[in-house]
């Protein structure tokens, strides 16, 4: 704490220091997007966080500044990172403003909240401010065909992004993470933009493909990614780096493009291992990869999971169009509850196709068959359990397109939660 100073020769240098000393910014090595609170004994820096030293408003007593919790642009919907900005009291003249290195911005205009110095050290480009102006939204891109990814929230694009390419390429990207501390358990891949040659009618990616190595939930991705599509890959039990590859066949003419954001997920904020996708909030849309663009993908086994929000108990799914289809032995399982109406697809009602009896399993799941199509709207009845949708598609040579409407294969649902 300051002591009162009465002698002018002593007071003047302090006043000059108070009003003339510029703010200083300390660079902090980037590690992961989670800020760990530093101790109160002295000026600490959160690991993986930015720190800015500033002059306090009052010098004779402790003073706290209060900031809104929604200080960042955009959200990181699955990790649950605390998006708060805190200021520590100064022991003498300076106070310290800390902020975590978390996602800022959205879509292709996104990055990580760093200090300006951190951004330059990481080879990034400043695209905006963040943390109430104390930080910069720093975007790091990899536009080469292959390379290392060591900065969180890096965006990987084709070199021409903004336009497309039409040639054969084989690119391998390596995501670096610290595998000695067991702090990183998953990697989230955000499909900001993705358009490759569609799969064959059997759902196999034979021309173009994106492959996540060591992923037990998928074999490959091709075709078009739905809006806001993302994918979780486990890193627990693996060693750094984790690779993913992109390969395209130049003998097939097609305008291809991709933009994928890569985010490491700390173990303290991982989603369940069986979840390929994870959503929070109270409403949204889910769909199968390549929906509306031909066949649905083969070689998938995953769940779409939903965070249970406070004050909400059940979920309603409404299909966005008729003729959505999952063919046997592939499966779309919806844990809706005890009584689910069996509906024939509207287009099939007047035909010779007869809707078979829906399979209601012990866990009360609705399962599709070649002739049975899921109802237009379904609401779950279990008010306590976590909600999830499970998808299983097999590489078996069967047709993954609807016999009624080949352009709408797979599924697309609007979903919403219902208050308790």
The 10 Å Cβ neighbour count of residue 323 is 18
Average pLDDT over residues 275-287: 96
Sign, CA dihedral 81-85-89-90, equals positive
Q: Which pLDDT belongs to residue 195?
A: 98
Q: Is the pLDDT of residue 400 over 80?
A: yes
Identify the CATH number of the domain defined by range 142-269. Answer: 2.60.120.290
- Would you tell me which CATH number, out of the four given (2.60.120.290, 2.60.120.10, 3.40.630.40, 3.50.50.60), belongs to the domain 271-420? 2.60.120.290
Q: How far, in whole angstroms, is CA 180 from its chain's centroid?
A: 24
Average pLDDT over residues 406-410: 78
Strand 95-100 versus strand 49-54 pairing type: antiparallel
Full-model pTM: 0.74
pLDDT tens figures, 22-43: 333 333 233 333 333 333 332 2
Q: How many whole angstroms separate alpha carbon 205 and alpha carbon 208?
A: 6
Q: Is the pLDDT of residue 176 over 80?
A: yes
pLDDT tens figures, 298-344: 999 999 999 999 999 999 989 888 777 777 778 788 776 654 444 44
Q: Which stretch of 60-74, 210-224, 276-290, 303-317 has the lowest confidence by average pLDDT? A: 60-74
Q: Is the pLDDT of residue 69 over 60?
A: no
Domains 142-269 and 271-420 are alike in CATH topology: yes
Q: Which pLDDT belongs to residue 51?
A: 59
Q: Which pLDDT belongs to residue 48?
A: 54
Sort residue 133 into left (φ over 0), alpha (ψ -120 to 50) or beta: left
Label residue 92 by pLDDT band (50, 70, 90): low
Q: Where are the domains of the chain?
A: 8-139, 142-269, 271-420
Sign, CA dihedral 288-289-292-294, equals negative
Q: Which stretch of 6-10, 50-54, 123-127 has the lowest confidence by average pLDDT? A: 6-10
pLDDT tens figures, 149-173: 999 999 999 999 999 999 999 999 9
Average pLDDT over residues 344-363: 34
Q: Which pLDDT belongs to residue 49?
A: 65
Tell me what the pLDDT averaged over the chain comes to.
75
């Amino acid at each position: 704490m300051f002591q009162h100073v009465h002698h002018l020769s002593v007071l003047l240098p302090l006043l000059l220091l108070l009003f003339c000393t510029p703010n200083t910014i300390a660079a902090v090595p980037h590690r992961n997007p989670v800020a760990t609170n530093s101790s109160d004994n002295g000026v600490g820096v959160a690991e993986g966080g930015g720190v800015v030293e500033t002059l306090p408003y009052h010098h004779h007593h402790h003073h706290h500044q209060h900031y809104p919790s929604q200080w960042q642009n955009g959200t990181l919907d699955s990790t649950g990172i605390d998006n708060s900005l805190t200021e520590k009291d100064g022991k003498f003249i300076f106070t310290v403003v800390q902020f975590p290195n978390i996602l800022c911005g959205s879509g292709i205009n996104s990055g990580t909240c760093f200090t300006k110095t951190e951004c330059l050290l990481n080879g990034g480009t400043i695209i905006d401010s963040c943390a109430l102006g104390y930080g910069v939204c720093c975007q790091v891109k990899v536009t080469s065909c292959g390379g290392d990814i060591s900065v969180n929230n890096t965006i990987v694009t084709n070199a021409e992004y903004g336009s497309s390419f039409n040639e054969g390429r084989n690119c391998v990207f390596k995501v670096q993470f610290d595998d000695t501390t067991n702090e990183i358990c998953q990697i989230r891949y955000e499909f900001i933009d993705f358009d490759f040659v569609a799969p064959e009618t059997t759902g196999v990616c034979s021309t173009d493909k994106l492959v996540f190595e060591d992923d037990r939930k998928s074999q490959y991705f091709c075709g078009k990614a739905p809006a806001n599509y993302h994918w979780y890959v486990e890193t627990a039990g693996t060693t750094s780096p984790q690779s993913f590859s992109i390969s395209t066949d130049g003998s097939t003419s097609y305008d291809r493009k991709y933009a994928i954001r890569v985010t490491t997920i700390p173990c303290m904020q991982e989603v369940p291992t069986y979840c390929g996708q994870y959503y929070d909030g109270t409403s949204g849309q889910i769909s199968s990869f390549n929906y509306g663009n031909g066949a649905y993908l083969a070689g998938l086994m995953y769940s779409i999971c939903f965070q249970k929000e406070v004050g909400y108990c059940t979920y309603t799914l409404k299909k966005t169009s008729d003729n959505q289809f999952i063919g046997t032995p592939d499966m779309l399982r919806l844990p809706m509850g005890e009584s689910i109406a069996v509906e024939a697809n509207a287009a099939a009602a007047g035909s010779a196709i007869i809707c078979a009896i829906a399979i209601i399993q012990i866990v009360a799941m609705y399962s599709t068959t070649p002739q049975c199509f899921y109802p237009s709207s379904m609401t779950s009845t279990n008010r306590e359990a976590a909600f999830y949708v499970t998808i299983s598609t097999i590489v078996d040579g069967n047709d993954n397109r609807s016999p009624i409407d080949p352009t709408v294969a797979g599924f697309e649902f609007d979903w919403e939660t219902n208050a308790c």
